[in-house]
Amino acid sequence: MNALEVIGLSIKYDDVTAVSNVTFKLAPNQYCCLLGPSGCGKTSTLRAIAGHENVSEGDVLVDGQNVTDFPPARRPTSMMFQDYALFPHLTVLDNVGFALKIGGMSKTERHAVALDYLKKVQLDGFSNRLPAELSGGQQQRVALARALVTSPKLLLLDEPLSALDPFLRIDMRAELKAMQQSLGIPFVHVTHSQEEAMALSDVVIVMDGGQIQQAGSPREIYDTPANRFVAEFIGGHNVIESDRGLVSVKYSELQIHAEGQTNSEIERIEYLGQHLKVSVATSYGTLHAFTDDKAFLSLGMTVGDKCNTRWDPETEILLKN
């Protein structure tokens, strides 16, 4: 049985269609990222799964149960909001235990359960603090513990890392993945960050215009983008009109040489640590290459120099428009 099934999901506001015929399935242990630019429909899809958005057409099934018409409180799901939505006047312990209080659990019992979840996110020593006394990363972990305390069958996360600084974002990314694997329930995570989606996901669902453009593993998405949008949005791909039609050539496959017929000119050189990103003006427009810094510097070329740019035709990926 699939842990989550979204079948033909559409969301319409008067004459505007925000989400159109979205269909996907998740197994119990999968981490899924809904990836796309602002306005692509990813957050509306997440909110529909949670019950915070009315569904115009289609169904949402969690553990085989159709929950399409259920209010959020009746769904075996939990949602972690982008701004964490912690109660500023409640302690960390009472924030985590709030849903249990609403459910009628005694104070002693809910505090014990809440403390157990704070231990899972390594914050049991902060139980008596107020949210304002915590760092951004600590607040994020409190919100995660609060979302998990009701033992949901599915956790939904709306851009949970966007408010964190880059270094903390990487640390919390690892913690989220470890937590998901430990709990053994699927996470559905909305993000506009390609790096975040590629690092976290078992399944990446790339959306644009309210529709799924491609779904698959991070490697599948990167190695075989389905169309121009996916290739350009996921990054690392030159999209070129060739004799074969519309193709993608990865930055790593584009070769720059000093010898041979000069068909290009170096526009920009960026040092990115493990490699250089070299941008060249060609008859196809500006193309980009990832290259070893030592190998490139040995060519003795710099911005403004003429060069020869080529790639192996067998590395071309045929795209749909």
What pLDDT digit, counting tens, does each position of 24-34 carry?
Answer: 999 988 999 99
Task: For residue 67, give the DSSP letter.
Answer: -
pLDDT beyond 90 at 165: no
Contacts of 266 (CB under 8 A, 6+ apart): 256, 278, 279, 280, 301, 302, 303, 304, 305, 307
What pLDDT digit, counting tens, does each position of 221-268 carry?
Answer: 999 999 999 999 999 999 999 888 999 999 999 999 988 778 899 999
Is 282 within 8 Å of 220 (Cβ atoms)? no
What is the model's pLDDT at position 116?
Answer: 92
Q: Quick one: pLDDT band at residue 65, thresholds 50, 70, 90?
A: very high
161 or 181, which is more confident: 181
Give strand ranges (E) for 169-232: 187-191, 203-208, 211-216
Domains 4-223 and 241-318 share a fold: no
What pLDDT digit, counting tens, does each position of 146-157 carry?
Answer: 999 988 999 999
What pLDDT digit, counting tens, does each position of 171-188 carry?
Answer: 888 888 888 998 889 999
Contacts of 226 (CB under 8 A, 6+ apart): 213, 214, 319, 320
Average pLDDT over residues 78-97: 90
Q: Is 60 helix (H, G, I), strand (E, B) or coil?
A: strand
Domain ranges of the chain: 4-223, 241-318
Q: Which helix (H) or strand (E) holds 24?
A: strand 16-26
C-alpha–C-alpha distance, residues 253 and 231, integer Å: 14
Q: According to CATH, what is the number of the domain 241-318? A: 2.40.50.140
Is 31 within 8 Å of 180 (Cβ atoms)? yes
Q: Which fold has domain 4-223?
A: Rossmann fold (3.40.50)
pTM of the model: 0.90
